[in-house]
Amino acid sequence: SERLLMGPGPSNPYPEVLKALSEPVLGHLDPEFIALLDQTNEHLRTVWQTDNSLTFPISATGSAGMEAAFVNFVKPGDCVVIGVNGVFGTRMCDVATRAGAEVVKVEEEWGRAIDPQRLLDAHPEPALIAVVHAETSTGIRNDIAPLGANKGNALLLVDCVTSLGGIPVLTDDWGIDIAYSGSQKCLGVPPGLSPVTISERAMEQLNPKPQSWYLDLNMIKDYVLGDGARAYHHTAPISMLYALHAGLETVLEEGLGETWARHQACGDFLHEQLPQLGFELWAQEGHRLPELTTVTLPEGLDDAEGRKILLERYGIEVGGGLGPVAGKVWRIGCMGHTARIENINRLLTALSEVKSELC
């Protein structure tokens, strides 16, 4: 059944994306497909706001983008500073440790942003500094620009899974060296691809033999950047690439600035309306994401029961809290095609009815 996806997971895909998914399948070395891939990467450069030639979608979800980022640029024993204020910073530490890094964690309370100076002061000469731009587990935006401006010799790695296409991500201006995202959030495409972008500076430090075969950029780059005669590396997920291409065209036809503004307007509206229904904003003021809002529940509203009614009766998915706030907050996503005022009004009406029934 059709759902209104207002959780932290996938958003509703754009209609053009759903249409693209049903297009006839081409071979992964077909010149027509290669042309579509090249154009997709060109569109990605615009969305990432970068000139990086190595900009393409990894054939797997956002976590594979995270893994590719670490295994390709961390060598065993490297010092890696990682900001941790939620689930995805925690996951970065696990991935980096498995890649052999000496991880220096900079922790902040969940629901609060990490002070960039703390990341910069954590180690005198780290190989890499990593942080999540939009922490989906808390609804917090961490500042990136000061890290790029003061990173010294370190590479700057940023998780943009929940930010790309929803709020400004200025890869080149902010001095980001390595970034990854996911297709399923603000880009309005189903889950399955992880757009990445890698600076020339990072490519000079590419690990010659990462422990992952599938994610080894030494090989993938030849397929992505090759001239007309591309060698097979793995069978590209053709239909998902059509979908991403269609999603990016939709965003660029609307205008990247306009898409950011639509997400911001939806976030502002939600942030204004939810407290009036007794749902208080939880994430630190000044660092709240428009595309992912965390709220505490009104007195008497049971987390599981409330979300069950929303899903089963109203067809609306919202997410529960994680970690220290499991059972205490909801996470309301408003991303990609879902980010429309009419969808927010539908949610607000449902929330008001559920609240009168349960509280």
Interface with ligand PLP (CB under 6 A) = 61-63, 66, 88, 132, 136, 159, 161-162, 182, 191
Find the residue with minimal CB distance to ligand PLP.
62
Dist CA 157 CA 119 (whole Å): 12
Residue 159 Cβ vs ligand PLP, minimum distance, rounded to whole Å: 5
Residue 106 β-bridge partners: 83
Nearer residue to ligand PLP within complex by CB, 132 or 350: 132
In order, the DSSP letters of 228-283 are SSPPPSS---HHHHHHHHHHHHHHHHH-HHHHHHHHHHHHHHHHHHGGGGT--B-S
Nearer residue to ligand PLP within complex by CB, 109 or 305: 109
Nearer residue to ligand PLP within complex by CB, 198 or 354: 198
Residue 72 Cβ vs ligand PLP, minimum distance, rounded to whole Å: 17
Sorted by sequence, the CB contacts under 8 Å of residue 99 that are 6+ apart come out as 70, 71, 74, 76, 210, 211
Nearer residue to ligand PLP within complex by CB, 34 or 48: 48
- Comparing C-alpha atoms, which of 116, 144, 141 is closest to residue 283? 141
Nearer residue to ligand PLP within complex by CB, 159 or 216: 159
Nearer residue to ligand PLP within complex by CB, 106 or 301: 106
CA angle 258, 334, 327 (to 5 degrees): 155
What is the residue type of 303? D
Nearer residue to ligand PLP within complex by CB, 158 or 281: 158
What is the residue type of 238? I
Residue 239: Cβ within 10 Å count: 17
HSE, side-chain direction, 13 A CA sphere, residue 192: 14
Residue 128 Cβ vs ligand PLP, minimum distance, rounded to whole Å: 17
Does residue 131 contact residue 83 with C-beta atoms inside 8 Å?
yes
- Comparing C-alpha atoms, which of 146, 192, 203 is closest to residue 131? 146
Residue 273 Cβ vs ligand PLP, minimum distance, rounded to whole Å: 24
Residue 190 Cβ vs ligand PLP, minimum distance, rounded to whole Å: 11
Structure token pair of residue 41: 């990467």
Residue 83 Cβ vs ligand PLP, minimum distance, rounded to whole Å: 12
Residue 27 Cβ vs ligand PLP, minimum distance, rounded to whole Å: 27
